Amino acid sequence: MNKEAQSSRYSDEARRIYQVLFSRECPEILISRYVKAVEKLNERLGEEDIRAHQSIMDRVRDIEALEMAARYRGLLSPLTDKFRIMVFLAETLPENYNNFIAQRTGRIFGWMVLLGVGVRSMWKLMKGLWLLSGSSGVAKNA
Amino acid sequence: MHDVVIIGAGASAVGAMLGLVKQGVKPLLLDVGFAPTPPRSTETGGNLYRVRQKKDVFDIMIGEELQGLHNVIHGDKRPPKMIAPEMKYVMRDNDDLLPRDESGFTPFVSFARGGLGSAWGCGLFRSVAQDLLGLPITLDDLDPYFDQLTQKIGICGRDDDLRPYFGKADGLMPPLSLSSKGKKLLVAYEKKRDVMSRHGVHAGFSRLAVLSEAKDGREPLRYDNMEMWQAENPALYNPYYTIEMAVKNGQAEYQPGWLALSFKSFENHVEITARSTSDNSQRTLCAKTLILASGAINTAKLALNSRQDHRSRLPLFDNPLYQIPIIFPHFIGTALETDCFAMTQINLVFDLPKLGLLLQGSAIELTSPPRAALMEMFPLSARGNLALARYLAPAAMVLFLYFPIDSSQGGTISLAEDRLLIQGQPYPYPKKALKKVLSSLLRLGVLTLSPLVQKAINGYAVHYAGPLPMREKPHGEYECHKSGRLAKEKRIYVADGSLFSRLPAKNSSFMMMANAMRIGDLLGRNGG
């Protein structure tokens, strides 16, 4: 794949991951930073891993579930690394400040949110494990 | 010909320098000495969180060279402070300047001015008698130097229940203000002091090389959460500050840009071969006395390299360290505290005589690292972890729990061709001790679970020791006399962590500094 096509693929990846995390459009500045970071990450990953990962990204819609299941299974996942990269990059923007930092105290609300995300994560985990079992042979590259 | 050349410019080198300066000897410090870029500034730009609300902080938290993503991109486990963009000089070129192969031990090595003291946690604890058991020095040997260094550096803390473990509190600055969770933990301890004491648990303020009051032109701490983001933060002591002052006063010389490669002893002098880090040219310096003080790993390499010894395997170890996340239920869902000191709040000592262990823990605030770094520890889905960062992280601290160690439990360092070979060995899982610690924490009202406890990689505690131990009667060429003099050498002294054949369960930087000052002082009395 030429550099331009690869760059375009990673830009789409950035938009998808950002959408999963924040449910909104990814700012352009983050896309270019993400592409640069993933190109560096690829220097550590083997060609085979990169290709397998791209194939999974093309086939699976719920990448959040897949990422969690891969992490749960203890797989060293390029997908987890990419989520981590996006989170680190997203945190630097003031528009995401509220997503990371609680500015007001709301203890009951806080506990309820934690309960809610706990239940949601269980669902995502089950779905992800099902996706992994359905993608036999590529699990280690998830 | 120089009277005394000191290799290094970290905490131990500064200790040795001060001992010599006290006796009127003007040493030369030879060092690689990378400096921060951009140069040190006293302006921080304000509180980290207020800055983050207003502007893109990519430059502060990630950097154009993506240093902030180092651990993700390289699959590494460097402490967050060492990958902050402004701190890149701390780890700069260390793989090139100290080529090495590692297995089971990941050493952190710095060629920065100030050494690893440029990115440390600032804990400086005096030794007590039991810390020095098995060593040829006693508390009487070190006490005067602890006193002098306390004045010189500016250490904050308080005389409290930890005095039996951290030594006397004379000359300390007032302690830093505690964060709300730090206060909560200390109050919980004070309310249950008798019960906790029966279980061997003691708590109190930390002893930190952080200014709570202005000193020598340095500003006190601003509580702006910039501790891990700002190079040479004036409130946090960096050994280079003392070198800078000594050079300014004409008491010492400092030559950065030189990597010491080897030494050779002669009847009346020592020759030191060094390589320029800018053009790779080599030079030879002559000195009446040489002090090796560039940290246990560099010092071991110099000793082995100077003898072209590819056979000997010297001991190397650091404290086994466990990281225990602790949650304060009362703080779940509260706003993040953005105006506090983002490092050690209080210390806890766990005296477990039945297990023959005395452990020490530092309860550390998590307000300064990126939330993204904390999310890596969380078990939920990516979006769930984001919610945990927002609602759970304000309720979390981490306890760094240190275990004692000696050379029998550690690894080895040797020279293979031109590369160092560093090998660690697994530390047996201390199940009973951890169980006791966790139940003590529950008694203090904080939540924690054993599956959350993580053993840090060997080398993470960063207080390396062991290669050239001090002995009452040294044997072989890789042991030292009580004076720090290397056995079978007349003019070579060692003055860093290499000298210690065991480490107590605490940050040993202050012990190493005081011992280095003792060695410098003794040497200075004999005219260098």
Q: How far is A97 from chain B (nearest CA, A)?
A: 6
Spell out the alpha helix ranges (H) of A2-77: 3-22, 28-44, 47-59, 63-72
Q: What is the pLDDT of residues B356-385, one digit of tens each?
A: 999 999 999 999 999 999 888 889 999 999
Q: What is the pLDDT of residues A45-83, one digit of tens each?
A: 888 888 888 888 888 889 999 999 999 988 758 899 999
Write out the H or E segment, with its range, that includes residue B212: none
With contact defined as beta carbons under 8 Å apart, do A87 and B375 qualify?
Answer: yes
CB atoms A114 and B73 under 8 Å: no
> Could you tell me the end-to-end alpha-carbon distance of chain B, in angstroms, rounded to an integer?
12
CB atoms B388 and A117 under 8 Å: yes
Among the partner-chain residues A33, A107, A114, the one whose CB lies closest to the CB of B387 is: A114
Which residues does chain B have within 8 Å of residue A111's beta carbon, measured at their own beta carbons?
Answer: 332-333
Chain B residues contacting A, CB < 8 Å?
Answer: 49, 52-58, 60-62, 66, 68-69, 72-75, 332-336, 338, 370-373, 375-376, 379-384, 386-392, 394
d(CA B491, CA B485): 7
pLDDT of residue B223: 94
Among the partner-chain residues A44, A101, A116, the one whose CB lies closest to the CB of B73 is: A44
Q: What are phi and psi of B178, to 5 degrees?
A: -85, 155
Q: What is the pLDDT of residues B285-298, one digit of tens each?
A: 999 999 999 999 99
pLDDT of residue B39: 60
Which residues does chain A have within 8 Å of residue B391's beta carbon, measured at their own beta carbons?
Answer: 102, 110, 113-114
With contact defined as beta carbons under 8 Å apart, do B165 and B128 qualify?
Answer: yes
- The residue with tokens 């945190």 is A91
Which residues does chain A have within 8 Å of residue B60's beta carbon, measured at their own beta carbons?
Answer: 92
CB atoms A92 and B391 under 8 Å: no
Q: What are phi and psi of B311, to 5 degrees?
A: -110, -40
Number of domains in chain A: 1
Domain encompassing residue A69: 3-141
Can you read off the two tokens belonging to residue B351?
């005296």
The SS3 call for residue B244 is helix
Interface test with A, best of B51, B72, B337 (most A CBs within 10 A): B72
pLDDT of residue B44: 59
pLDDT interval class at A138 (50, 70, 90):
very low
Comparing B38-42, B470-474, B510-514, the range with the smallest average pLDDT is B38-42
Q: How far is B124 from chain A (nearest CA, A)?
A: 32
d(CA B489, CA B89): 35
CB atoms B371 and A113 under 8 Å: no
Which residues does chain B have within 8 Å of residue A84's beta carbon, measured at their own beta carbons?
Answer: 72, 372, 375-376
Strands B282-292 and B492-494: parallel
**For residue B209, what are the CA distances in angstroms to B234, B316, B507?**
11, 26, 12
With contact defined as beta carbons under 8 Å apart, do B528 and B289 qualify?
Answer: yes
CB atoms B334 and A68 under 8 Å: no
CB atoms A110 and B62 under 8 Å: no
DSSP B81: G
pTM of the model: 0.93
Rounded to the nearest 5 percent, the helix, strand and coil shares of chain A are 80, 0, 20
CB atoms A88 and B68 under 8 Å: yes
For residue B38, whether the previous peptide bond is cis, meaning omega lies within 30 degrees of 0, is yes
Which residues does chain B have within 8 Å of residue A73's beta carbon, measured at their own beta carbons?
Answer: none
Asked whether residue A140 carries a pLDDT value surpassing 90, the answer given is no
Q: How far is B237 from chain A (nearest CA, A)?
A: 28
Among the partner-chain residues B66, B68, B390, the one whose CB lies closest to the CB of A102 is: B390
Q: How far is A76 from chain B (nearest CA, A)?
A: 10
CB atoms A67 and B382 under 8 Å: yes
Q: What is the pLDDT of residues B16-75, one digit of tens each?
A: 999 999 999 999 999 999 999 876 555 557 899 999 999 999 999 999 999 999 999 998
Asked whether residue A136 carries a pLDDT value surpassing 50, the answer given is no
Interface test with B, best of A32, A42, A67, A84 (most B CBs within 10 A): A84
pLDDT interval class at A134 (50, 70, 90):
low
Size of interface A-B (CB pairs under 8 A): 144
CB atoms B332 and A37 under 8 Å: no
With contact defined as beta carbons under 8 Å apart, do B117 and B502 qualify?
Answer: no
d(CA B174, CA A79): 48
Which residues does chain B have within 8 Å of residue A107's beta carbon, measured at their own beta carbons?
Answer: 332-334
Among the partner-chain residues B49, B69, B387, the one whose CB lies closest to the CB of A101 is: B49
With contact defined as beta carbons under 8 Å apart, do B329 and B443 qualify?
Answer: no
Give the count of alpha carbons within 13 A of A16, CB side only. Answer: 18
- The residue with tokens 């160092």 is B420
